[in-house]
Structure 1
Amino acid sequence: MSKETLTPGKLAGLKSVSDERGVIAAAAMDQRGSLKKSLAKEKGVADLPDAALIEFKELVTEVLTKHASAILLDPEFGLPAAKRRNGKGLLLAYEKTGYDAALPGRLPDLLDVWSVRRLKEAGADCIKILLYYTPFEKSHINDHKHAWVERIGDECIAHDIPFFLETVGYDVHGEDEKGLGYAKRKPEIVTGSMEEFGKARYGVDVLKVEVPIQMEFVAGTKAFKGEQAYTRTQALEHFRIAASSTHKPFIYLSAGVSNPVFIETLELAVESGTTFNGVLCGRATWKDGIAIYAKQGAKAFEEWLNTTGVENINNVNNALKSAKSWHDKVNVPAEALA
C-alpha cells in the first residue's frame, strides 16, 4: 500500500499535537457526562454546576500539558481550559457525550452548534470523533455509522484539518463487557474496526483505538485476575494482528484503566513490536484525582496533579519511548518535518 501524502493543513495539525519525534503523547480531558456524574457521586450530591467541570478541566490542562504534546478537550466545557495549555496542540471533540440507551446500536450524534469550521475557528489543530463500533452489529446500523464517518471525513478534508477517529467496541451478544466472553471477542472487534476505518473513503488521519485485549484476562501479567482469555503469547499476537490491519497512524486510548495497568499494557504493545504512534490518555492520568477535587477542593486537587498526576503522565511518557513515529506511515518530504 502506497503511503498517503498529507496536505499542508493536515501536516501542520499533526505536527502541532506531536513531539519532535512524530509521536503523539497527548492528554485527554474531553469527558463530560461521565465526569460530571463521577464528581457529583464523590461529593455526595445529585448534580454539580458547570463551573465545577470547567474548573476541573482547567486544572488538569494547566498542569498536565507541561508534560504532554497536546490536550484533547470538548468545546462545551473545555474552551476556558484551552487557554491554559502551555502552547501545546489542541484537539477538539465534535460528538455529543454518551449515546441514547433507549435506541439500538449506540448511534452517534454531533454537537448541535458546532461544525469543523467552527471548531477550527475556536483553535482546534485536529478534530476528534468518538464512535461506538463493532463489526458484529446489524449491517443497517453500521451502514448508518459508515455514512456518518464519511461525512465528517469530508468536512475535515474541506477544511484541511486532521481527523482523529476513536472507536470503542461494545457487546451485541448479551455478554458482560467486563466478562470473559467479551474479552475473547475483543480482538476481532478492535481489528475489524481498525480495518474498516483505515479505508481511504473515510478520510481518517489517525485511528485512536483500544488495545485488542482485556489486560485482566492475560495470563502472566501483573493485571491478571485469575480468569484466562489469552496466554501472554496469544495477547502479543493479537496486538500484532490488529496493528497489521491498517497502514494508518494509530494511537492507543487508556479506556479508564489505572495508571499501572495502562503502563503494563503499553509495555505489552512494545514487546509485541506494533508500530503504534502514541497515546491519547485521559483517566489513567487524572482519574484518581476526582475524589480529591470533590472532597478537598481545587487547591488540593492542583497539588495532587503536580505530584501524583505528573508522576502518572511521566510513567506514560517513559512507556512511549519505544513508540514509532507517524512520519514513517505518511509520505512527507523531510524538509516539511524540519
Structure 2
Amino acid sequence: MKTTKRDYLKQISNDQGIIGALAIDQRGALKKMIAKSKGSDATDEEIIEFKQLVSQELTPYASAILLDPEYGLPAAESRDANAGLLLAYEKTGYDASTPGRLPDILSVWSVKRLKEAGADACKFLLYYDVDEAQEINEQKKVFMERIGSECAAEELPFFLELVSYDAQNADSSSREYAQVKPHKVIDMMKEFSNARYGVDVLKGEVPVNMNYVEGYTDEEPVYTKEQAAAYFKEQSEATNLPFIFLSAGVSADLFQETLRFAKNSGSTFNGVLCGRATWANGVEPYVVQGKEAAKEWLRTQGRENIKGLNKILNENATPIQLD
C-alpha cells in the first residue's frame, strides 16, 4: 500500500498527534561549539560521533529526530525504532559575501534521495526578510516552489523552517530587532502558508524575543506581557498549516516557559523541533572528558531536558488531526 504524507506525519508525531522532535542537523554551529571547548578545529569524526550519541540516548524520548545527510546518517541508523526521521536538504549557513542570504541545496541530494535514505520528511531552512528587495525575495519564493513540487512528487512531507532577519541590522538579538521581529515573523508565515509552496508543516520562531518581554527581562521591556500575548495569537491565526516552534538556541528553561506563555496566549502550535536547548551542554563533557562523560550527561541532564519538554508539550501543544 502506498505511503502517504499523512502516514509519514504520523511517524513523526507522538501518540497524541504532537510533534516532539529533536534537532541535531547543525553543522557549522556544532563545529564551532566543539572547537570552542577543544581549542582547535572539530573533526568530521567528532561531529558524527556526537550526533550518534545524542540519537542513541535521546530518541527514545522524542517523536522524531532531525539530522543532516552530510554527517547525520550514522545517527539516523542509531535512533530508537519508534522515532521518525527528518533530513535537512539545505546547505549549512549562507554566503555572506552576497546580499540576500540566498538558499542552496546540498548538491548531491534530492528529495528522492532523502526518501531513499529513510527520511519521513524533508526539512529546508530559509532565511527571509519580508522587507528585503523584491528581486531577492522572488528568488526565494521560486526556490520554495521547486522544493514543494519535489516533495509532492515523492509524497514526502515538506517542513519549511523560517528564520527571520533584517537586512539592515545583522544583530537579531538587539533591542532594535526585537521591535520589528513580530512583523517579520508573522508576515513570512502568512506568505509561506500559501498553497503554491506545498508546505506541510511550518517550523518557525516565536514572534517575540522573550528576553525583552515584561517580567522576563531586567531591562526596559520592548513588549508588555499583553502585547507579547497578542503577537502569539496573531501568529497562530496567520496560518492554516500545522506549525511548530524552534528553540533558537535559548536555554531549556526559557524555551519551556515560552511554550507555556504561547499556550496561555491562545497559540495553537503543534509541537517543537528542539535542538541546542536539549543537548548543547553535553558538548563540553564530550570534548573535555570523552564519549562516556557525554553519555552520562545525555542520560541525566539531557534526558531531564527532553522529558521536561515533553511534559510541557503534552500540556500545551495542539494535536495535529491525522485521522
- TM-score bracket for this pair, using the shorter chain length: over 0.9
What is the TM-score with the length of structure 1 in the denominator?
Answer: 0.93
Q: Deviations over 1:248-269 (max 9, x none)?
A: 0000000000111101111111
AA aligned opposite 1:270 = K
Match of 2:228 in 1: 235
**Cα displacement (A) at 1:113:** 0.3
1:92-115, CA deviations, whole angstroms, 9 ceiling, x for partnerless residues?
000000000101011110001000
For residue 262 of structure 1, the aligned residue among 234, 255, 263 is 255
SS in 1 for 2:4: helix
Identity %: 55
Residue among 240, 249, 262 paired with 1:247: 240
Determine the structure 2 residue equivalent to 1:64. Answer: 58
Map 1:13-162 to 2 at 5 A. Answer: 13-45=8-40, 47-87=41-81, 88-162=83-157
SS at match of 2:101: coil
1:316 aligns with 2:304: no
1:297 aligns with 290
Name the aligned partner's letter for residue 106 of structure 2: L
Native 8 Å contact 2:169 2:177 kept in 1: no
- 1:4 paired residue number: none
- Structure 1 Cα separation of the partners of residues 292 and 120 of structure 2: 30
- Residue 303 of structure 1 and its aligned partner are, at CA, apart by 0.2
- Could you list the runs of 5+ residues in structure 2 that have no partner in the other structure? none
Tell me by how many angstroms 1:138 deviates.
0.9
- Find runs of 4+ consecutive structure 1 residues off by over 4 angstroms: none
CA RMSD of aligned residues (A): 1.1
Q: Which residue identity does 1:12 align to in structure 2?
A: D
Deviations 1:203-244 (A, max 9, x none): 0000000000001100113xx231311001110100000110
Code of the aligned partner of 1:160: E
Give the drift of 1:89.
0.2
8 Å Cα contact 1:275/1:323 also seen in 2: yes
Q: Is the 8 A contact 1:175 1:181 kept in 2?
A: no
Contact 2:182/2:207 (CA < 8 Å) preserved in 1?
yes
1:8 Cα offset (Å): 5.0
Structure 2 CA distance for aligned equivalents of residues 263 and 93 of structure 1? 25
Instruction: State the match for 2:176 in structure 1.
Output: 181
- Matched pairs, number: 320
Correspondence 1:271 to 2:264: yes
Query: Structure 1 residue 176: deviation in Å?
Result: 2.6
